[in-house]
């Protein structure tokens, strides 16, 4: 049976997952559109905005890249102490859901406007983006394993 502390861990983990997964998903689709050259004909010599161009190197490049938000959610859920109230965790989760709706409201029109027919041929991944994705996945997995081990050690005491 789930206790209040374990429910708080679940809500915090879900909040972290929502807060990380959808922005990474949107960034991954933007990165794909940039890689296939979708914006070249619309930009016409104008510089791509600075913040998105910096964040594109951190965008997921394939399905395995989405392990990062899952591992971060597990790590955050395990890191929650017993002193977190269930109502606080539910409020944090509600804030993450509101953020999800805001991102979706901004992103859905973009995706409909930039939708192309068919799928582009998969090309080689950009090296820097591949290295960063591997580091993010491995780092978040290590963090999740350490958090789970810590939680198990605390539960035994």
CA distance 92 to 53: 30
pLDDT of residue 73: 93
pLDDT of residue 126: 85
Are 55 and 136 within 8 A, CB to CB? no
Of the candidates 98, 101, 66, 88, the one whose C-alpha atom is nearest the C-alpha of residue 12 is 88
pLDDT of residue 62: 85
pLDDT of residue 86: 82
DSSP 119: -
pLDDT of residue 132: 93
Which structure tokens are listed for 23? 């922005």
The tens place of each residue's pLDDT in the chain, 157 residues long, gives 677 778 888 889 999 999 999 888 888 888 888 877 777 666 677 777 888 888 888 888 888 888 999 999 999 988 887 777 888 888 999 999 998 898 888 888 777 776 665 566 667 888 898 999 999 999 999 999 999 998 888 878 7
pLDDT of residue 72: 93
Alpha helix ranges (H) inside 2-156? 4-35, 40-43, 50-55, 67-79, 86-113, 127-156
CA distance 82 to 65: 31
pLDDT of residue 121: 65
């Amino acid at each position: 049976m789930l206790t209040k502390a374990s429910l708080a861990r679940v809500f915090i983990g879900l909040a972290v997952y929502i807060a990380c997964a959808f922005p990474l998903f949107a960034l991954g689709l933007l990165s794909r559109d940039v890689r296939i050259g979708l914006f070249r004909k619309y930009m016409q010599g104008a510089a791509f905005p600075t913040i998105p161009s910096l964040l594109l190197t951190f965008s997921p490049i394939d399905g395995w890249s989405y392990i990062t938000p899952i591992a971060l959610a597990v790590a955050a859920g395990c890191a929650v102490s017993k002193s977190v109230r269930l109502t606080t965790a539910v409020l944090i989760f509600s804030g993450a859901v509101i953020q999800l709706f805001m991102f979706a409201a901004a992103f859905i029109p973009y995706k409909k406007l930039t939708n192309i027919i068919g799928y582009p041929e998969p090309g080689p991944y950009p090296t820097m983006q591949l290295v960063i994705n591997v580091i993010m996945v491995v780092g978040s997995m290590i963090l999740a394993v350490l958090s789970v081990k810590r939680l198990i050690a605390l539960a035994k005491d």
